[in-house]
A and B are shown apart, each in its own frame.
Chain A
């Protein structure tokens, strides 16, 4: 295990390379999923407001 981590003395170069990649790729993934969730939530909220508003108007018209 320690031999694996040492990477024949190049651990100080190999692991940061993979660490940075994980950070960059992981960051992209989290940012993208968050953007989709936020957009979907905002749309759902506005759609709910819209339905509520049209229903009120319809009820007023009935009355």
Chain B
């Protein structure tokens, strides 16, 4: 499948067919998920209404990590096989992941203040999540700082691959250290421990964020492919004008 998609023309054709669906399905999932999260689901017996923050906080956290996994995998593929589409995917994933990581931190602070009594604590989970956000920023800054596009892509790929070490640290920080942040309650070996009335809106919101991430990344990649075509045309046009001027 990957070698099939590796052809930019074929990817472009498939992306064009899939993109409208991803936007539509994402909108639909948010239309169901948001009222469920904000109105239908009951308040928590301990957290009261602040539990509603979880329906955006947790998906943002998951998707920030999913996006980083994607960034690391595409970087690896680009680094080994020099495949341009993989680099486009990496470039498209970074800003989306950065926004999700930021939203995770910001909504977490808004929950932490009333529930823990602190906007922020230097606990292993929060700190490793902050590192993830900084990795995204560092990745984008590094790419922006290097003018040679191929060199920027390779340097970025190395940074992204090294940063992947942070992902298991985020995931297991709540088990390895004594954190104020609560341990996993959904992705556990013994199954989720949260009540269905909260698990449902959480799952739908997580799915909505996932499909939205797909829509954003595919649309960005298509925009980049169109830009590259335009760049090539512009170079050809400049060469022709130079030739004509020379004649």
Partners in one complex: yes
Q: With contacts defined as CB atoms under 8 Å apart, how many contacts are there between chain A and chain B in the complex?
A: 99
Kindly supply a per-residue 1/0 record for chain B positions 157-193, scoring 1 wherever the CB is within 8 Å of any chain A CB and 0 otherwise: 0000000000000000000000000000000000000
| Main secondary structure on B side of the interface with A | helix
Q: Answer whether residue B48 sits at the interface, using C-beta atoms and an 8 A cutoff.
A: yes
Kindly supply a per-residue 1/0 record for chain A positions 18-60, scoring 1 wherever the CB is within 8 Å of any chain B CB and 0 otherwise: 1011001101110011011011101100110110010000000
Q: Among B48, B49, B223, which residue has its beta carbon within 8 angstroms of that of A32?
A: B223
Q: Among A25, A27, A47, which residue has its beta carbon within 8 angstroms of that of B233?
A: A47
Inter-subunit contact B220/A17 (CB<8 Å): no
Chain A interface residue count, CB cutoff 8 Å, equals 32
Chain B interface residue count, CB cutoff 8 Å, equals 39
Give complex CA distance A17, B95 in Å.
20
Q: Answer whether residue B125 sits at the interface, using C-beta atoms and an 8 A cutoff.
A: no
Q: Answer whether residue B6 sits at the interface, using C-beta atoms and an 8 A cutoff.
A: no
Q: Contacts of A14 on B, CB cut-off 8 Å?
A: 49-50, 52-53, 110
- Determine how close the nearest CB of chain A comes to the CB of B19; give it in whole angstroms: 9
Give complex CA distance A25, B104 in Å.
12
Q: Among B39, B95, B99, B226, which residue has its beta carbon within 8 angstroms of that of A40?
A: B226
Given contacts A20-B103, A35-B220, A39-B223, contact A13 B50 (CB under 8 A): yes
Give complex CA distance A53, B96 in Å.
40
Residues of B within 8 A of A (CB): 38-39, 43, 48-50, 52-53, 56-57, 60, 95-96, 99-100, 102-103, 106-107, 110-111, 113-114, 212, 216, 219-220, 222-224, 226-227, 229-230, 233-234, 236-237, 240
Q: Which 4 A-B pairs have the closest CB atoms?
A: A39-B226, A7-B49, A36-B223, A46-B233
Residues of A within 8 A of B (CB): 4, 7-11, 13-14, 16-18, 20-21, 24-25, 27-29, 32-33, 35-36, 38-40, 42-43, 46-47, 49-50, 53
Instruction: Enumerate 13 A-B pairs (CB-CB under 8 Å) in ascending A order.
Output: A10-B48, A10-B49, A13-B114, A17-B106, A17-B111, A21-B107, A25-B99, A28-B95, A32-B220, A35-B223, A36-B219, A43-B227, A43-B230
